[in-house]
Structure 1
Amino acid sequence: MSYKVEPLPKGYAHLGESPHWDIEKQSLYYVDIEAGKLLRYDYQQDKVYVAKVPGVELASFIVPVEGEDDKFVIGDKRRVLVVSWDGISDSGKIDRVLFEVQPDEKYVVNRFNDGKADPRGRLFCGTMVYVGDEFKNRWGELYKYEKGGKVTVVKTDVGISNGLAWNEKTNKMYYIDTADYEVKEYDYDFNAGVPSNPKVIFDLHKSSPKNNLLPDGMTIDSDGNIYVATFNGHTLYKVNPTTGKVLLEIKFPCKQITSAAFGGPNLDILYVTTSAKFDQPSPAGSTYKITGLGARGLPMSKVQL
């Protein structure tokens, strides 16, 4: 297969995460977590816009709001906020706090990590320890926000809450806790928004624990294959979740691959975020586009408030 990996112009994010393709805007939204920045890549202009929202310290994910132009939900520490941003200005503003989790003093070292809306517009997002040992202190949780304001704890005992994907054809949900070194598949009731019966479908454990691959963000294509980013592996794996077989290993010139999302006018361009944490050398932190994969993604859902 002849595919091409190219960096976006000025698409740098020190800790890039949570890519979301907005079909209406023909734009890729993503975040630079520790810088607290929101980014938008405009496909038509081939240009990246960056904004800082006053009052936001850690912008961990960004998902557009259904039916409200220039409104987004973002994670900031242990809060989920509704923010306004026109996608062009270098600043946005907080409209309100949608909800907050883990208020106890013990969890002051926690923050939200990845977040995404399921095909019915429910927001799933989870927390992790960001000061201390997130592999030892499994203080994270996975949450679900439903239209109208109901917030439910979906899973406790989470190390690093990460990648999410859904397949409506097979009634499945996929979820990554990086600290488990694996991808789990759940049966998913789309009417109730409830995952059940988890099973491991992609195991990234190695013979030596220090060599375990760290699965990070994830996306899915229209054939039901998942694409799993590895934070310490230079690689994005295309996996058949039914067989667990790796169909393709997409290699990058940097180590920390954080997440991926299909976009472009035909949903056939794979956009990939990376990280430059821990003094990674250039081109770490670049955001990439991959063309020529011969695959198409599924439309990403906005949050229904």
Structure 2
Amino acid sequence: MTAVKYQDCQLSGDCCQIYLSPNLALGFRLGNPKVGIKFWGLRAICPHWSIEKQSLYYNDIYGGTIHRYDYAENKTFTAKIDGYPVISFIIPVKDSKTEFIIGTDKKITLIEWDGISEQAKFLKTIGEVEFDLPDNRFNDAKTDSKGRFYAGTMRLEAKGDIFEARLGTFYRYDAKQNKFIVLKENIGVSNGLCWNESGNLLYYIDSCDLDVKEFHVDENGDISNERKVVDFTVNEDRPPFVPDGMTIDTKGFLYVATFGGSTVYKINPKNGKIELEIKLPCEQVTSAAFGGPNLDILFVTTAAKEFKSPQPPPAGALFKVTGLNAKGTPMYSVDLS
């Protein structure tokens, strides 16, 4: 296992470059004077790289904002949606330039946004789950290579210790039948998910299980054959972090963000071996996604505004890691047809 830590730091305007080694670096956005937006201090999650728009979409879950980092322009645009103070995810809609789905409480909501304006428009509610669980909300969500939508729920952090409740459920949304298919129940915090390049294996994190699991995926998108890939407990004790969001590269290695661990772990799912530790200068690392023109930049989201433990800058910044000698698999828009 290799561990890389930040060793040197250079500031240039509103950008910061942190050098981990001669060939490996972190860069992050402190703010953008042109549009007057500050990017530290967010509870940023669920990064989604759009190949078509060469942009990274992500959201500030409790800030109620959605964001688009334009790679070519090297700046970020931010918008709000009236009436939605909590947004769990943002995913582009297939064959649309301006439509997205977002997670609002226990709903999937369709919105319209040009990616520039400071206000996005509510269009309609796509679906809702768990009417009998008012303290639950959607958390992480993604789509597979066929545009099928997967997402899970959790109990609100403000309602108590996340390890005490197993009230969440992991779903697949069937757009043709307009219904949610239950894939897994008794979830603590439904979190990171990604598929291998072939799409027949799903990797999934329930943060409260402190591990990563693998599932086989059939033609319908349903899952089976659960297998534990890696266990983060130490002698059955909790580590000082929980696994959070996750992504994957073309060789099948997983990149797991650790909330409270200041680290993204590169993991070989075949044997559970940690191949690389990418250290960041903030504790609350929430997720990761490959992007850039060649899908070889690892974008990493972090949090500052966590419920019990607010963090100083650069917590809440969007980081990019270069020099990994790895390429990510594409991320896909959701198919609502």
TM range (shorter): over 0.9
1:205/1:212 contact within 8 Å kept:
no
Residue of structure 2 in register with 1:302 after alignment: 333
Q: 1:167 aligns with which of 173, 183, 196?
A: 196
2:30/2:314 contact within 8 Å kept: no
Distance 1:270 1:224 in 2: 15
2:154 is matched with: 128
Partner of 1:69: 97
How far does residue 25 in structure 1 lie from its aligned partner after superposition?
Answer: 0.6
Paired-residue identity, %: 47
User: Where does 1:200-211 land on structure 2 (aligned, <5 Å)?
Assistant: 200-207=228-235, 209-211=237-239
What RMSD in Å do the two structures reach over aligned CA positions? Answer: 1.3
Matches within 5 A, 1:236-251: 236-251=264-279
CA distance in 2 between counterparts of 1:209 and 1:281 reads 28
Summarize the alignment of residues 136-175 of structure 1 with structure 2, pairs less than 5 Å apart: 136-148=164-176, 149-169=178-198, 171-175=200-204
Secondary structure of residue in 2 paired with 1:211: coil
Alignment-mate amino acid for residue 171 of structure 2: Y
TM-score by length of 1: 0.96
- 2:291 maps to which residue? 263
Structure 2 matches for 1:74-93, cutoff 5 A?
Answer: 74-93=102-121
Distance 1:170 1:84 in 2: 29
Q: How far apart are the structure 1 equivalents of 2:194 and 2:97?
A: 24
8 A Cα contact 2:244 2:287, kept in partner: yes
Distance in 1 separating the partners of 2:44 and 2:195: 22
Q: Secondary structure at the match of 1:102?
A: coil
State the shift of 1:168 in Å. Answer: 3.9
- 8 Å Cα contact 2:174/2:180 also seen in 1: yes
Q: How many residues align?
A: 302
Alignment partner, residue 29 of structure 2: 8
Q: State the shift of 1:216 in Å.
A: 0.2
Name which one, 1 or 2, has greater alpha-carbon Rg: 2
In the alignment, what sits opposite 2:311?
280
SS of 2:134's equivalent in the other structure is helix
TM-score by length of 2: 0.87
Q: Is the 8 A contact 1:18 1:31 kept in 2?
A: yes
Q: CA deviation at 1:143?
A: 1.0
Deviation at 1:262? 0.4
- Runs (5+) with no aligned partner, structure 2: 1-20, 32-38
Q: Which amino acid aligns with 1:269?
A: I
Q: How far does residue 170 in structure 1 lie from its aligned partner after superposition?
A: 7.0
